[in-house]
Amino acid sequence: MPEFTDCPYLKVALCQIAPVWLDRDATIQKVVRTIEQANEQGAELAVFGECVLPGYPFWLDFTGGAEFNSSKHKQIHAHYLSQAINIELGHLEPIYAIAKESSTAVIVGVAERASDRGGHSIYCSLVYIDANGNIRSVHRKLMPTYEERLTWSPGDGHGLRTFPLKNFTMGALNCWENWMPLPRAALYAQGEDLHVAIWPGGQHNTHDITRFIAKESRSYVISVSGLMRKMDFPANTPHIDEILEKSNDVLANGASCISAPDGSWVIEPQIGEEGVYVATLNHQIVLQERQNFDPVGHYSRPDVTQLVVNRNRQSTLKFKED
C-alpha cells in the first residue's frame, strides 16, 4: 500500500540523454551529472531511457545481425558484454551514491550482465533505486523485441512489483512490454497509479501508448527515451565503418513525455534534444479519474477473470546442501 503523506504532489524529471555509447564508466558519469541537474530543479524522481547504460544494440540493424557464427558479431557481442552492467560487482555504486546524496529516486535502464545467470548473457533490465540509495528492483525485460533477441535474453516476472513514492504507487516496464496487457494488469492490480515506461527512443514508440495507458489505467504515465545520433558512435566501436555507412543521422529521437490520468499531455513528446524536463504530478487527479473507471477496483470482475503471476527469479541452478 502507498505511504500516504500530507502532500499529494510529486516532482519528476524526464532525463533524456544519449549514452557515451558502449562506454560504461563514461555513461555512468553522464547519468550522475544528469541526476544532479534534476535535483537542482527539485525533482524527487529521475527517470532515464531503456538500456541507456551502456547503450542500445543499434548495430544489429546495420551489420546483418542474424548471420550465424559470424566472427564480426562475436567481436561486437564481446565488446557489449565487457561494457555491460554487473550489479553484483558494484558498477552502479556511483548512482546509488548520488541518489542518496540528493535524496532523488532513480529509474535507469541497463544492459545487465547477470551473475545469477552465469554472467555471460545480457538482460535488458530496469533498475529502481530509491532516494536512500538502495536498489529496490531489477526488472528483466520479459521478451526482447525482434532483433533484440539476437543479443538480449528473455527475463522473468521477478520485477513485476510496485513501490510507494509519496502518495503514489509506482510500477515500471521496459519498451514493448508496455504493449503486453497482462504485465500491465499485474501492476494495476498492485495499486499502480504512476506508470513508468522506458524506451530506447522514438516518437513512434511514445506518442500513442503513453496516453493510451494513462486512459486505460487512470494513472499518470511517464515515458522516457534515450537519444542516439550518428555522432554518438565512438570511434573505437568494433566495425564502426560498417555501422556508420548504413545508419541514419538520427537513430532515436527521444520523445520523452508525460500523460495525465485523463490522457491529456503534462509534457508533450520532446523531440531530438538532450535535456531534463520536469513536471509536478498531483495525486488528487488520480483519485478524481478513478471515480468513473478503476480497472482493478469497482470496474472489474475477479469472479470472471483473474491473473496469475510468477515472480520467482528464474535460474538454471538450485543448491541443496547436506
Catalytic residues: 50, 141, 175
Tell me, what DSSP letter sits at residue 8? -
**CA–CA dist 187, 213 (Å, integer):** 12
Enter the DSSP assignment of 121.
Answer: S
Other C-beta atoms within 10 Å of 174: how many?
Answer: 30
**Interhelix angle for 203-217 vs 181-188, to 10°?**
50
Helix-helix angle 24-40:93-102, to 10 degrees? 10
Phi, psi of 106 (to 5 degrees): -135, 135
CA distance 216 to 87: 34
User: Over the range 117-127, which residues count as b (16 or more CB within 10 Å of their CB) and which as e?
Assistant: beeeebbbbbb
Residue 19: closest CA among 152, 111, 106, 101: 111
Buried b (16+ CB within 10 A) or exposed e, 280-296: ebbbebbeebbeeeebb
C-beta of residue 228 within 8 angstroms of C-beta of residue 244: no
Q: List the alpha helices (DSSP H) in the chain.
A: 24-40, 71-83, 93-102, 181-188, 203-217, 240-246, 283-289
Question: How many helices (H) and strands (E) are present in the chain, helices listed first?
Answer: 7, 13
* Furthest-apart CA atoms within the chain: distance in Å: 60
Place of cell 509536478: 280
